[in-house]
């Protein structure tokens, strides 16, 4: 009886994970359709990775405001390209593993070991990617001076604030 309860609980958790995890990235690109695995956990994680990419983009786009040197820009560009490649690989690997899990769970008497292995593989992919993105963030921030970092944070805050609180244009009264 205890084994049946434990097994039922594991199946319920696996099903919950399957139907609450989005396959798509932080901005839901058109080329990636939302599947039955849509939810918030991966969305939040992907949003965080998107912020890391956004940080690098912002530094490069606002190089003049941040007063970046040519050497700093030259150092950031390959880091950014490599990060973009790793994000593409991660998304593809994650999608493949989620499809494998979905295929396994479509079988009435699915193999619990295979399903568990898929879930563990997904967790490993996510963890490895988070660590890679943190390394990229650290590398990019290491290229900035303290003053540039403060300017970057201020720029980032301003952009976020402007998106959340759009400026309202007041009509002039006659």
Kindly give the confidence (pLDDT) of every residue in the chain, 174 residues in length, as a single tens digit, with 9 standing for 90 and above: 545 544 444 544 454 444 444 433 333 333 333 443 344 355 554 555 555 667 788 888 989 999 999 999 999 999 999 989 999 999 999 999 999 999 999 999 999 999 999 999 999 999 999 999 999 889 999 999 999 999 988 887 676 555 555 554 444 455
Burial degree of 46 (CB within 10 A; 0-12, 13-18, 19+): buried
CA 164 to chain centroid, in Å, comes to: 20
3-state secondary structure of 89: helix
* SS3 assignment for 139-160: HHHHHCCHHHHHHHHHHHHHHH
Which pLDDT belongs to residue 57?
A: 83
Which pLDDT belongs to residue 70?
A: 95
Which pLDDT belongs to residue 155?
A: 84
Q: At what angle do helices 112-143 and 41-61 cross, to 10 degrees?
A: 20
For residues 148 and 58, the answer to whether their CB atoms sit within 8 Å is no
pTM of the entire structure? 0.59
133: Cα within 13 Å, side-chain hemisphere: 23
Which pLDDT belongs to residue 58?
A: 83
């Amino acid at each position: 009886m205890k084994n049946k309860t434990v097994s039922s609980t594991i199946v319920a958790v696996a099903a919950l994970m399957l139907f609450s995890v989005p396959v798509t990235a932080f901005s839901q690109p058109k080329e990636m359709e939302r599947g039955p695995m849509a939810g918030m956990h991966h969305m939040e994680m992907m949003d965080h990775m998107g912020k890391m990419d956004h940080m690098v983009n912002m530094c490069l786009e606002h190089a003049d405001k941040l007063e970046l040197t040519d050497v700093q820009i030259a150092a950031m560009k390959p880091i950014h390209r490599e990060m973009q490649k790793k994000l593409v690989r991660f998304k593809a690997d994650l999608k493949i593993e989620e499809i494998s899990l979905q295929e396994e769970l479509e079988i009435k008497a699915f193999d619990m070991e295979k399903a568990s292995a898929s879930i563990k593989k997904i967790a490993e992919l996510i963890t490895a990617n988070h660590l890679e993105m943190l390394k990229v963030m650290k590398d990019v921030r290491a290229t900035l001076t303290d003053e540039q970092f403060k300017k970057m944070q201020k720029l980032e805050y301003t952009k976020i604030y402007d998106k959340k609180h759009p400026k309202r244009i007041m009509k002039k009264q006659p």
